[in-house]
Structure 1
Amino acid sequence: MATQPFNYTIWAQDKPRKAPAARAGKPKVACSYQRWWYAHGLQKVGREYADPDRPLSTEPVKKGAWYEVKCSNGSRKIVWIANKRAPAVIAEQLAHRAYKRIPIAPPQVLTAPPRGRDGLVGLPHWFYLAKGQWTAKTKRLRTGGVWAEATARPQRMTIDTGEGHTITCNGPGTAYDPSRPAARQSSTCSYRFQRPANARRVTVSVTWGGTWRGSGGAGGALPAITRSVTFPVRIVEAQALVTKG
């Protein structure tokens, strides 16, 4: 006696649902990407074999690559990023490396009165940078077909006077010209010391802001860099000479 199997067809219709609305006021999470060098053996070697300081590979990324993602909320994970996004991520990493290689030395500061000569209580003491100090600096790196260029630009000069006061100047200061009368000159960055001191410790700092651009129109901001120099300044009180006629 022949038997026939029963055949069943089960189907269901999945109705699309609207995505939940984003919560107002929810803090934004910023994430950074670091190339994971052991993508082919991801499940064999584990996270402890990561080498984030290894130079970027010049081998072309084909379909994509693995990346370690670190976010500002403390989360860390390894994700696969398709090739269409990989160049921008690599460009950002290149930009940070290029930024670190920009030579930014402590500022060369000039003063009026000149360093080594006495300043006077109550009179303007000028601070200004040597010529060519207030200039943007750029560094470019490339790996394979991906490139990035980082730029550092001076933004402000800050003077800690050593008297408990700090002044901020939005430029390199004005150079003093000894060939011109003092009455016809003015400073854009000066301070009037209030008390005499044999060796007042003054600290001058210059803060640089960073930006970058790279492959595929990528770009953004980079952390600020500050360089400082400290030197002594002697401040004396003017002595009045009284004579009898």
Structure 2
Amino acid sequence: MRRVSLRLGRAGAALTAVALALVPGTAFAQRGGGSSQGSTTDTGGGREGTSLVSRVVYSGATAGTQGGGGGDGGGLQPVGDWTPPACWYEPRSAAEFRDYVETMYDDTVNTPGQHSYAKSAVGMFRNEYKDGTYENYNLDKKDEGNWWVAVRDEDRSMEPEAQACDRKPFWVENGDPVPVENAITPEVLAELAYSRVELPATEVTLRPEGNTKVNLPTWAWLDKARFKETSVTAAIAVGGLNIQATTTAQPVSLKLEPGTPDAETYPASGECAIDDDGSIGEPYARGKADRTPPCGLKYLRSSGDGTFELRATVTWDITWTGTGGTGGDLPDGTFGNEQAVTVQEIQAINR
């Protein structure tokens, strides 16, 4: 579950630490689940209770929509140092921003036993937008622009990247550029969708299944019906902004790691490329016993009383398209699982 909350920036360290913590009923932007059906998972939100949450809505292959795998599916792990945004900026109407600040103020000052520094901090923040730098939350300009506020991915709230969006809510006139990095755009939406892509469990089919034998080639393949193009769409419609982006993951290869150095892989690199028909590897069939598997492995010693942990990792090529003809590539992603393999000695009887 991903909790996304409003960050108030440098309105004083006490305000950021205290005001957010004191707002009751902090809303959650769920990753999957909820009341969604099939592949139309809605994980966005607006104003829920007394908290502003992200207005980005996700649909497609998000958590809970892949089925199967016993819950072993998971998200993309980017190749390299890149990660999706941990925080970003979204627009809010003047009325919505006013309601949030006023409710937060009332809740803070009216909470029994509340510390005076918390009341002071939230009061200073309120005054800036009500009677200070701005007047009455710019309600008289409600049709001329929007407030822009920072939200963050609470699953990554302790990462330095989540603290980067530290600017206080600011006003932007319609048509003017938003003067911050990570202001919501089709590309940012595509990057957010990247982190919501849910992939099927990477459990390869092996032949022989169950137990394999020392020095016996074992065939490996993936079900092409499950390992196919997968996509998530992220969209936002708020404050006159109506944009979306679709991030698509396409499987390109399967990496086999036997779980012991006493093994060989086919091909020798352990990297099985995707075939023209979308399959990875080739199913074993009667009559292929003397052939070398196009994708597989051979164990050179027994696993004894235990097992070897075979790790199968699929690499996915990631592209995106968005509003206004935008689009491009995002870093490749991987996802893998481990499965136990028992390797036995071939027993021979001498007479």
Query: Does the 8 Å contact 2:200/2:227 carry over to 1?
Result: no
Matching residue of 2:300: 194
Match of 1:218 in 2: 326
1:197 partner amino acid: S
Q: How far does the alpha carbon of each residue in 1:44-81 deviate from its partner, in whole angstroms, 9 at most, with x for none? A: 568xxxxxxxxxxxxxx96687576xxx9x97675969
Choose from 289, 314, 336 the match for 1:182: 289
Q: Distance in 2 between matches of 1:209 and 1:215?
A: 21
The answer to whether the 8 Å contact 1:173/1:188 transfers is no
> How many Å apart are 1:39 and its aligned residue?
8.6
1:168 equivalent in structure 2: 271
Residues 95 and 218 (structure 1 numbering): CA distance in 2 closer, same or farther, change over 3 Å?
same
Q: Indicate which of 249, 253, 265 corresponds to 1:156.
A: 253
- What's the secondary structure of 1:182's corresponding residue? coil
Matches within 5 A, 1:17-32: none
- Pairwise CA distance, 1:113: 0.7
Are 2:202 and 2:335, in contact at CA under 8 Å, matched by a contact in 1? Answer: yes
Name the one with the larger helix percent: 2
Secondary structure of residue in 2 paired with 1:196:
coil
Question: Is 1:129 aligned to residue 222 of structure 2?
Answer: yes
The reply to whether residue 141 of structure 1 matches residue 249 of structure 2 is no
Work out the CA distance in 2 between the residues paired with 1:67 and 1:217: 26
- Alpha carbons of 1:158 and 1:134: their partners in 2 closer, same or farther (altered >3 Å)? same
Q: Distance in 1 between matches of 2:323 and 2:302?
A: 56
Max radius of gyration: which structure? 1
Query: Contact 1:210/1:223 (CA < 8 Å) preserved in 2?
Result: yes
SS in 1 for 2:234: strand
The alpha carbon displacement at 1:156 in A equals: 2.3
- Which of 76, 83, 94 aligns to 2:175? It is 83
Number of aligned pairs? 196
Unaligned residue ranges in structure 2 (runs of 5+) = 1-84, 98-123, 129-142, 151-160, 264-268
Larger strand proportion of the pair: 1
Q: Is contact 1:67-1:81 (8 Å) kept?
A: no
Aligned-pair CA distance for 1:238:
2.4
Matched-pair identity in %: 23
Residue 34 of structure 1 aligns to which amino acid in structure 2?
A: W
Letter in 2 for 1:169: C
- Structure-2 separation of matches of 1:181 and 1:188: 11
Give the TM-score, by structure 1 length: 0.61
Structure 1 residues not aligned, in runs of 5+: 1-31, 47-60
Residue 56 (structure 1) aligns with: none
CA distance in 2, matches of 1:63, 1:134: 45
* CA RMSD, 1 decimal: 4.0
Q: 1:232 to 1:241 in 2, by over 3 A?
A: same
Q: Is the 8 A contact 2:235 2:243 kept in 1?
A: yes
Q: Counterparts of 1:35 and 1:90 in 2: how far apart (Å)?
A: 10
In 2, are the aligned partners of 1:62 and 1:83 still within 8 Å (CA)? no
| Residue aligning to 2:49 | none
Distance 2:173 2:343 in 1: 62
Residue 141 of structure 1: how far off its partner (Å) = 3.4
Scaled by the length of structure 2, the TM-score of the pair is 0.45
Write the distance in 1 (CA, Å) between the matches of 2:251 and 2:176: 35
Which residue in 1 is equivalent to 2:337?
A: 229
In 2 relative to 1, CA 177–133 (structure 1 residues): closer, same or farther, beyond 3 Å?
A: same
Q: Partners of 1:120 and 1:141 in 2: how far apart? A: 48
**1:177–1:123 CA distance, 2 compared to 1 (3 A):** closer
